[in-house]
Chain A
Amino acid sequence: AQTVTQSQPEMSVQEAETVTLSCTYDTSESDYYLFWYKQPPSRQMILVIRQEAYKQQNATENRFSVNFQKAAKSFSLKISDSQLGDAAMYFCAKYNFNKFYFGSGTKLNVKP
């Protein structure tokens, strides 16, 4: 089965602190792409970070980084120095065989 699982429906973090969002997935292939998308309230979904499965190095984009564990089929997102603007729904997604699979999302609350 090609599924993406986000086991944390909601999380909270204090402003300026670090939070990690979890994601696991199923696949029988070695070549695929993984993504984290952010969907702010009533706003458009935007890409946070992207990882090619053939790359061993974890992707990093400013305060956002991933921990990609290919053997464990795990793809967690770490947000450092959390800001109020990080509050949103975060979706983990996988692409292979010309199909996208999204998780159910994690709602991130940021406390001032």
Chain B
Amino acid sequence: DIRMTQSPSTLSAFVGDRVIITCRASQSISRSLAWYQQKPGKAPTLLIYRASTLESGVPSRFSGGGSGTEFTLTISSLQPDDFAIYFCQEYYSYSWTFGQGTKVEIK
């Protein structure tokens, strides 16, 4: 099974900061990766798919990159609404495995 590992697990940042979250796959997954945002008590929402394609309606301050085994989610200028948990997910292996999550907190 493919394992997905995110870093860091927790990130403290100010409004306006540039934030980068990394997701590593235990084997190559090409570009079969999605990023989700989850707020307390809510379902995850899709931000990015195919590693770098922005989902419709998602602000352009979110961007994704990478391929193979290493991927990034960048928030160019952190906004108050962005404080949440972010998960990566692979769909290369058809087991749709998620990373453990990165909690973005207010500094």
Partners in one complex: no
Binding site for B on A (CB under 8 A): none
